[in-house]
Structure 1
Amino acid sequence: MKKIIIIMLTIMLAIVVSACSVDKSSTIEVKQSAKEMADQMVKKVQEPAQMELSAEELKDLYKIDPKKLEDFSIRVPMMNVKTNEIAILKVKDAKDVADVKAAAKQRAENVMKQFEHYLPDQYENAKNYRLITKGNYVLLVISDKADEIIKVYDSFFKQK
């Protein structure tokens, strides 16, 4: 009888523990497209003039296959004297999130190398890049106003 009670308690404990450890990132809901999010971010936090990258430019600069992404918006400086960059990447399949995040990190490192001996203030800006993952979303921000931009970005996400 004691063995049955111990087994039942163990099973109940396992159920409670597994229910509490559900990955909340899978319940993330965003209503805006990546472009709408980026538009609102740069509207609320002023950045130097930027241009939107195409899928082909995504492949060239980020080394990411656009087929891995459900949606994306990448803003880079219009002139090569600034490092400010915002990339919102919505990955189709959760198994590819780590690869996309690694590619975004490599992009940030490439920007740092590009400015290392060119413009010291922009090199410092690039060194302080921020890389954030929320569910299937990867965000790369290179900006002296990164905290403000991330605050706006966080406002797009709601837990179900």
Structure 2
Amino acid sequence: MVSLFAKANGKRLIPLLVITVLFAAVMIGCSGKPEGGRSDVTVAELAERLKQAVKLDELKQRDKETLQRLYHLRGDEVEDFVLYTAVSNVKADEVAVIQAKDAAQAERVKQQVSKRIDAQTVKFKDYRPEEYALIQKHVLKSEGRFVLFAVSKAADRLEQLFIEALRRS
């Protein structure tokens, strides 16, 4: 009777072990990347990758006061950032990488950047059609706590680099 019981339990144990191993494999596979992209990438590293791939020499790097003035962001919302704008106010080129304190604040950052896009659209629509066209092709993308805003002829390339940098394992 004992050996019959052991055989029956053994038959039940194998499917249970298979299910456990499959579950563990799925959980390990899903946990390879932190939610919202890599947590080890910094804004400085992202900015360097963007500068290496796309010529940003014609833009000027701006400070925290400019970030707050353009996007109306509070200091407690932003952990780190890099902002480049055109030297002249007749050009629409602008590139910003902003790391929010958390994902919820990243959504607010996107909302504030959207307001900037609206303002720039009004400003350039009838004044500078070629700059208006650049604004219309802008990129506004978020990955976790990071937000990319790009008004540039190379906006698509900047978006691609941004995504690759944050999704790389």
Would you say same fold, with TM above 0.5? yes
Paired residue secondary structure (1:67): coil
Partner of 2:94: 85
Could you tell me the TM-score, scaled by structure 2's length?
Answer: 0.73
Paired AA for residue 77 in structure 1: A
In structure 2, the CA distance between the partners of 1:25 and 1:86, relative to structure 1 (3 Å rule), is: farther
Alignment partners' CA distance in 2, 1:121 and 1:158: 33
In structure 2, the CA distance between the partners of 1:40 and 1:27, relative to structure 1 (3 Å rule), is: closer
Q: After TM superposition, list the pairs within 5 Å mapping 1:98-117 onto structure 2.
A: 98-117=107-126
Describe the superposition over 1:118-142 as per-residue Cα deviations: whole angstroms up to 9, x where unpaired: 1110011111111111011111111
The answer as to 2:146 corresponding to 1:140 is no
Count of residue pairs the alignment pairs up? 143
Alignment partners' CA distance in 1, 2:42 and 2:34: 18
Paired residues of 2:36 and 2:145 also in contact (CA < 8 A): no
The answer as to 2:48 corresponding to 1:39 is yes
Partner of 1:75: 84
- What are structure 2's unaligned runs of at least 5 residues? 1-22
Paired residues of 1:68 and 1:91 also in contact (CA < 8 A): yes
Partner of 1:5: none
Q: Which deviates the most, 116-125 or 32-41?
A: 32-41
Describe the superposition over 1:75-100 as per-residue Cα deviations: whole angstroms up to 9, x where unpaired: 11111232111111111122212211
Specify the structure having the higher radius of gyration (Cα): 2
1:30: Cα distance to partner?
4.9
Paired residues of 1:70 and 1:90 also in contact (CA < 8 A): yes
Aligned to 1:95, which of 96, 101, 104?
104
Alignment partners' CA distance in 1, 2:56 and 2:103: 31
Question: How large is the Cα RMSD of the aligned pairs?
Answer: 2.5
Alignment partners' CA distance in 2, 1:25 and 1:129: 28
Partner of 1:66: 75
Higher relative CO (Cα under 8 Å, sequence separation at least 6) belongs to 1
Aligned to 1:155, which of 150, 160, 164?
164
In structure 2, the CA distance between the partners of 1:29 and 1:90, relative to structure 1 (3 Å rule), is: same
1:27: Cα distance to partner?
5.1
